[in-house]
Each structure stands twice: as C-alpha cells, then as structure tokens.
Chains A and B, each alone.
Chain A
Amino acid sequence: MTKVSMTVNGKAVSRETEGRTLLVQFLRDGMGLTGTHVGCDTSQCGACVVHVDGVPVKSCTVFAADVAGGHVTTIEGMANADGTMGRLQQAFQDCHGLQCGFCTPGMVMSAAALLAVNPTPTEAEIRAGLEGNICRCTGYHNIVRAVMQASGQASAAVAAE
C-alpha cells in the first residue's frame, strides 16, 4: 500500500492504495464517486471516461498511482458552480441523448473533451470523436444532436431530421 494523492473535482484527496488499484476503483470504491461506471474489461466501452489534466482517459485502464499529483474531473464535477447542470449536460437532457443512463457519464466526458479541442464539430467529427464510447440504448442519433446543441450549432446542421 502506498499513499496516492491527487485532486478530484477540485478537492485534494490522499488515500492508502494498492499498486494494482485502478483509477476507477479509487474513484468509485475509495471516494464513493459512483457516477463513473465500468461497462467492460477491455477498454472498449468508455463508460469509465474521466478527465486527467484535461485529457479524456479510460479510468479502468490506468492505475490510480499513475495519476498521482494529477487533476481528475469526473461527471460529478461537471455541473455549474450553482449546482445546475452544465451546458453539455443540459443538451443531453434537452435532446433525449440518454436512456438507461449507464454510458452517459463517460459519453458526456468524452463529448466535453471533444468540444474542448473542436468547439464546432461536424456530425462526422462528433461520430468519430465518440467512437470510443458505446451506447446500447440511443442509436447515437440524439447524442449527436446533443453535442451539436451544446456547441451552439442548430440541429438543422445534422443531415437528416
């Protein structure tokens, strides 16, 4: 066990941690931040995506110790300062971009990372940008619309409605 320290959603945390503890276990089991989900064991589904120093990371695939000293943002850290949902979260609700909600935290984190580097993506760029996140419920149609809306683009920009 070694002490691992990092900043999660703006708060400094420090925990005794086994070397094999994954970041997602550190967040879910250690900190009780259960918004980050585990949907597979091969780094394919993206339900566990969080941001480490602003970069999207599949938290099931990195050791907590490897993130020591880093700044981690999870879905619990995406709301506005007043507690209301952020623009991207709101767009997911407005556009019905989620159903069962299980892939949603990872999907939101990946979409946020996409918009950070490409503020007005095309439909094709959104689809390519979310290729690492699997959703079984929505068929992605309304997720694409949500990301369009969050980027300030009219949904008419989407090819077929």
Chain B
Amino acid sequence: MPKDGGIGASTKRREDVRFLTGKGRYTDDINIRGQAYAHFVRSDMAHGILNSIDTAAAEAMPGVIKVFTAADLAGVGGIPTGWQVTDRHGKPMQEPKHPVLAEGKVRHVGDPIAVVVAETLDQARDAAEMLDIDITELPAVVDMRAALAEGAPKVHDDLTSNLCYDWGFVEENKAAVDAAFASAAHVVSLDLVNNRLVANPMEPRVAVGDFEDHSGNSTLYTTSQNPHVIRLLMGAFVLGIPESKLRVVAPDVGGGFGSKIYHYAEEAFVTFAAKQLKRPVKWTSTRSEAFMSDAHGRDHVTKIELALDADHNFTALRTDTYANMGAYLSTFAPCIPTWLHGTLMAGNYKTPLIYVNVKAVFTNTVPVDAYRGAGRPEATFQLERLVDKAARQLGVSPVELRRKNFIKPDQFPYQTPVAVVYDTGNYDATMDKLLELSDHAGFAARRAESAARGKWRGFGVASYIEACGIAPSNLVGQLGARAGLYESATVRVNATGSITIFTGSHSHGQGHETTFAQVVSEMIGIDAGQVEIVHGDTSNTPMGMGTYGSRSLAVGGSAMVKALNKVINKAKKIAGHLLEASDEDIVLKDGKFTVAGTDKSVDWSGVTLAAYVPHNYPLDSLEPGLEETAFYDPSNFTYPAGAYGCEVEVDPETGKVTVLAFTAADDFGNVVNPMIVEGQVHGGLAQGIGQALLENCAYDAEGQLLSASFMDYAMPRADDLPMFKVDHSCVTPCTHNPLGVKGCGEAGAIGSPPALVNAVIDAIHGAGRTDVTHINMPLTPARVWSALN
C-alpha cells in the first residue's frame, strides 16, 4: 500500500495551489514603488572594436534617467569564474576579464554594450534606438578547430591564443592507454558532435535591484538557483559589498536547468544602478535576449576510441574533445568538460585504462556552461554511442556487450581509472528491468508490423551513470573549485511544536517544500502540515550553495537531517528531565517521547513548549530554545545509474523519426516522493529527446545566432513526445548519506540522447543500411534523409 505521508509517499505538492491559482510570486511579479526600468543594448556583431558610444541623443529622450556604458561603471569588477582548471602541463587555464558592460571590444552577439534606465520600459526601449554606437567589425571565430589554427582572430587580445586549456586526464595513464590500443584485438572509433543547446526555462531571467539609503543595504531580487552564491560572487568580486549589507532573494523561480546558477552581468548592473540612482531598477529579459545572454550548454566535438581484446572485454578508452567556452568564462564553465565529464568516462564499465583530452576553446559565441546533466550527458552520449557501434561492428548484441563489461554488484565500492569511487550499484538489474518493461521480447514482431507499413522500426539502449550530490569540498578544492560545495540547514522548532526549516537549497520546480517536509514528518512523527520550508532568501536562510547537480536532497536534505538529529538529541534531554528519566532511555516515535519499556510519555508539543517556557527545565545544564543549524559536506559523490530504452520508427521516404516508446529504469537509491521523482525523469527525458531530435543552437560562419527565438529553436512540444514508462524499483541505497538517496534531476537528460540515436541506427541497420554508422544530433528529417541518400 502506498503511504499517505512521510518518506516514500507520493504526497501531492503543497506549492501547486499557489501556482494553479495565479498566486505564484516570480521575480517579474515584484514591483517596488519608484522603480525604474533597464533596457540592455547588445551587440549585433559577433566581434568588433567598440570605438565610441554617443549617448547624448538617447539621454535627451523622454523619461530617460541615465544611460550607462562601461565608463560609468568605475570600481565595478569583472564577472568572476568559480573554477580554475590546470592544464596537462601544470599551467593554469587562460582566464580573460569578463566586464559587466563591453570594454573596448564586443565578443559575441548579445554582448551588452550600454544600458538605458528610464521611467518606463517603453521609454527605455525608445531611447535605446537613439544611441549612436560605432563598432569596427572584426573577423569572428565560431568553429573551434579554426579558432585554434595559427593566425586565427583572437577573441581576447591579451591572451596568447583562443585555447583556454588543454586538459589531460589521467595524464599519467596516457602512455599505457596508447600501448593498450597498439596491442588491441579490436579498435572502434567514432567522431561525433554534442550539439549546442539553450536551457530555456519558461521563465526568462529577471533582476530587480533595490537600495535603502537610510541603512545602506542593497537587495537583489533575481531568478537564481543559488542566491547565496550570487551574493558571494557579486558582493565580493564585482561590487565590493559585504554580505552583511547585501541581500539576495530568489523567490518562485520558473525553472533553471543550470542556466540560472551563474552570476550574470544584469544582476550586478541593477544592484549597482539602484545604489547610484537611489531608485529600484528592474530588468526583465525577453526570450530573444535569453537566447543571446543565458549561458548555453553542451557544444562538444569529440573523437572517441575503444580498444577490446579478442573476448570483447574493454581494455582501453581514449577521447579527444574540443569544448566550446564561448567568448567569456561563465561561472562554472571550466569545470563542466573536465571534472564533470572526464571523471565519468568509465561509465558502467570495467575499462581499466582511460585517457581523456579536452581542449577548451574561446569563440565569438555566447558563453557555455552547465545545462541539465552538465558534462555527464556529453560523457554518456559518446561512450554509449561508441559501445553500440562496437557491438554492431563486432556482430554482437549491444545489450550483451554492455553486460559483459558492466561492473558487477560484488565489485562495489569500485575505484575507476578516472579518479572517482562508485559506492554502490547494480547495472544488470536496471538492464533486466528495462528489457522487461519495454517488452523487448516482442520487438521483432513490432518491427515486422512496421515494415509491413513501409516503416523502419528500431530499438536502442543506453546505460548511464552520473556523479551527483556534489560535492566533497576538500576534493573539489584540489580540483580547482573556488567554492565549497556543502549545504546547510537550520531547524527552528517553535514553541507550539510547529517547525520552520531554513534551507540553503533552492526549489525552482523540484518540490522541496513538499519533500523536505515529508522527511521532517517522518523523523519527528508530526503532520507535514506543521512543517514550513523556507528557502531562497539570504536574509533568513543559512549559507547555502543552492540547487544543481541533483544535489538538493542528497546534500541539502542531509544537512537538514543532521540538524534534525541535533534537535531530537536536545529534545530527548528535555523529555528525560520532564519524565525524570535518563535521556538515553527516551524513544521518539509518532510525535511522542516515551521512556523505553514504560508507559511514561510526553508529547512533542509538551517538550517544545518546555523549551520555550522553561519553568520546569534543566537550566543549569541545557539552554532554553530548540533550534539547530548543521552544515553537511558529503564524503563522496552519489552515483545514480540506469538503463534506458527507446523505440522509434523511421520513415525512409522523409527521414522523419517518431519516438514510439521510451522506457527508463533508474536506480536513484531511496526515494522520498515517487510522484515527484517520476516527474523529474519525465522532464529530463523530454529535454534529452529534445536534444536528440529537435533542438540545435546554430551560428553562421560570421557568428550570427540563427536560432534566437522559439520560431527557430525547436522546443519539444506535447505532440513530439510519447507517454513514458519510468521505473525506480532497482534500489541500491547510497552508502554515505543519511537518507541513502542519490538524486534524480538530471538522469533523464543524460541517458536518453544515446538511447534515441542508437534506436535510429538500429532501425536503419535493420533495413540493411549498415553503411550508416552515425548521424549527428538533432536527428531532423533532413539529416536522416541526407544520411540515407
């Protein structure tokens, strides 16, 4: 029977009521008395010398308060990068300055040049038309290999080249890997592209800056996944405001998928301008602006090779990847193609030797950073495409080749050759579950039925593993992180027994207000309705690193559990005093403290009241009150894993691919709210299928962004997708966090692209066209038809 509350229950989401009745409070719903409006004027050229900006005519327009250019931002620092990668020769990456407004040069279409602040948004837009901006256009670099060629135009004149870093991992293994390839019985190689994507949460970014003249305090309301991180980066590195004078609020946020992790120029600008003008300043992104100013995702070009012995055991893996950084380094950009990508190249397999080379390249394009999965989809896609190609080349079953090389359940904890240690898993179990749920046994009959209609049916599988619950701070510090990756929580028990949880995690669709309350309800034994979850405001939550990398429950939830345990320990002491028993004999169950083996008991609310009305209380040994804070720093990553299966039909006449069925069998460890977990997988699958079938962020050779609206960038719509079959019944609990949870937010987007492409190749091979071994995403009708003809 499903539970009706606590851990494991599909509790309906409490936040839904406000969203369904129009009462959500998103950043654009915030308007402050006296607020002015900012309109950013952006470069329409990919690369050029910014000669001059004449603002006089614009400033004379009705309603204009001030026009800002870089010259008006004296004392404002550049946008910082949160990670420094060291290259394969031991040198630090090249790190260019990223000004809030362009200084001297523009480096991508969308690079902000000036800001008009006016009484109304229309006035600001009208005045922007009057700006006289003189730019000498320069040749742009868009293609990564061309950007590294001798004599290529440089995105940053003060750097030695467009190479950010040349990373080798594990560099010491390189010779052994090359030797393994030289003696391999079989070598399989694949060249592929991981297409550039735009995250496109449905809520565009918004920032409202406010300044209190009497206190000197600044407040930024922003669409962020991590308000504390923005406070730290913007306060310390850009504006020079101490945390004590700066409040960052991220209220209801309409999706993020990574794109709202980063600190953006617009946030710094409105905070700065509000202080300068002594007025609130608001900026709301249009969707077109979002396409040219939100950090993009993916954009890798890779050659990957697999060495196998005569028995088809994987003996070595070698990759050569170019990763696009865009024109500037976004907050976590350098870490995505390295530590979140190279460390996952073992996948679910026992491959003993691995060498990953990544060249990160500056180009005249929008900066690229984490997008749902962040490095792990890129790793999984190339590996799972290659394993599939190997099976076809060797004439063996793609499922059996995977099984032969899977790490087996008795081999955990498993030290991979790429640094990480998988704590637990069972990859055969999820593969078994996938084949069962997708009715693999009936596929041949379905293929015949399609063939009778002139259609080619294919079935593709992919295994995946990801590293979530980021991350051990001391480890990431060694790897170049400039931040810790713990999480914190404060549990405030109120006098009448209700509980307010203050968490550093941030919910922007994940349903924390419901799931975190379920955990509290389970641990204390009170109704979840007595538990309030507060997040998203640096003024009332403890230091937090925010929500990304499927980390909220694994790290933020663990911090909350740790603080709850402190509360419970203290509450037991109070209960022991009230019941005249040793606190070691006190048991908390179903909201009641009992002396073990007796019928002496006191209710939760009796203890909480005593804590705040300490008349009968051990004041000599215990402070009044019941409130605890805990920081949790994980000892390892978590490793969700699974097997995905996609069934497609290809129309050989048109090249159109139709997804008929998609099945996901995941091991997320323990699950708090199955309904929400399944919803996370559905959303991830849609984004992964979108990448594989529809979405592509395209630039022309001059660096013009060709896909800058929903007219040109194909978002998955309801009629592009099937109903999904998802399962999370294969459970190997995480061994190192208190809830045994692994994280589920990104899996769908990681495992689905290779499964889909493998299915299309299977369909094409099934029709006898074994000459087609790969098609680059997205698999549009034009691309599939071209591959066939």
The residues of A with any CB-CB pair to B shorter than 8 Å are 18, 20, 28-29, 33-42, 44-45, 47, 74-76, 78-79, 85, 89, 92-94, 96, 98-105, 108, 123-124, 126-128, 130-131, 133-144, 158-161
Contacts and interface: CB of A to CB of B under 8 A. Distances in A.
Given A102-B201, A139-B724, A34 B22 contact: yes
B200 A136 contact: yes
B22 A33 contact: yes
A126 B202 CA distance: 21
B373 to A, nearest CB: 14
B745 to A, nearest CB: 11
A17 to B, nearest CB: 13
A56 to B, nearest CB: 15
Interface in B505-529: 508-511
Contacts of A18: 122
B9 to A, nearest CB: 13
Contacts of A136: 200-202, 255, 257, 683, 686-687, 715
Contact of A139 (B21, B25, B682): B682
Given A41-B288, A140-B721, A99 B710 contact: no
A139 B255 contact: no
Interface of B: 12-13, 15-26, 28-29, 31, 122, 200-204, 252-255, 257, 286-288, 508-511, 661, 675-676, 678-679, 682-687, 709-711, 715-719, 721-725, 748
Given A41-B286, A96-B675, 20 more contacts: A20-B122, A34-B29, A39-B204, A40-B287, A44-B715, A45-B202, A93-B16, A98-B20, A99-B679, A102-B24, A128-B719, A131-B718, A133-B718, A134-B202, A136-B202, A136-B686, A138-B679, A139-B724, A141-B724, A161-B723
Contacts of B676: 96
Contact of B710 (A37, A42, A144): A42
A62 to B, nearest CB: 17
Contacts of B509: 99-101, 137
A41 B287 contact: yes
A42 B718 contact: no
B255 A100 contact: yes
A131 B709 contact: no
A124 B255 CA distance: 27
A39 B203 contact: yes
B16 A140 contact: no
A102 B715 contact: no
Contact of A143 (B12, B257, B718): B718
B29 A96 contact: no
B645 to A, nearest CB: 12
A9 to B, nearest CB: 10
A122 B31 CA distance: 42
Contacts of A33: 22
Contacts of B287: 39-42, 45
Contacts of A38: 28, 204
B435 to A, nearest CB: 16
Nearest to B10: A96
A44 B22 contact: no
B255 A144 contact: no
Nearest to B203: A102
Contacts of B13: 93, 96
B761 to A, nearest CB: 23
A76 B21 contact: yes
B660 to A, nearest CB: 10
Contacts of A41: 286-288, 709
A37 B682 contact: no
A86 B661 CA distance: 32
27 contacts: A33-B22, A34-B28, A39-B287, A41-B709, A44-B711, A74-B22, A99-B510, A99-B511, A99-B683, A100-B255, A102-B24, A102-B26, A102-B201, A104-B19, A108-B20, A127-B721, A134-B717, A135-B202, A135-B718, A136-B200, A136-B202, A137-B202, A139-B687, A139-B716, A143-B718, A144-B718, A159-B723
A47 B723 CA distance: 23
A29 B15 CA distance: 24
Nearest to A103: B202
B283 to A, nearest CB: 14
A127 B722 CA distance: 10
A33 to B, nearest CB: 7
Given A39-B287, A102-B255, A142-B679, A85 B20 contact: yes
Given A101-B254, A102-B254, A144 B723 contact: yes
A138 B721 CA distance: 11
A141 B722 CA distance: 8
B16 A139 contact: no
Which 10 A/B pairs are nearest by Cβ-Cβ distance? Answer: A35-B22, A102-B254, A101-B19, A139-B686, A100-B509, A44-B710, A99-B509, A139-B682, A40-B287, A75-B22
B122 A100 contact: no
A118 to B, nearest CB: 15
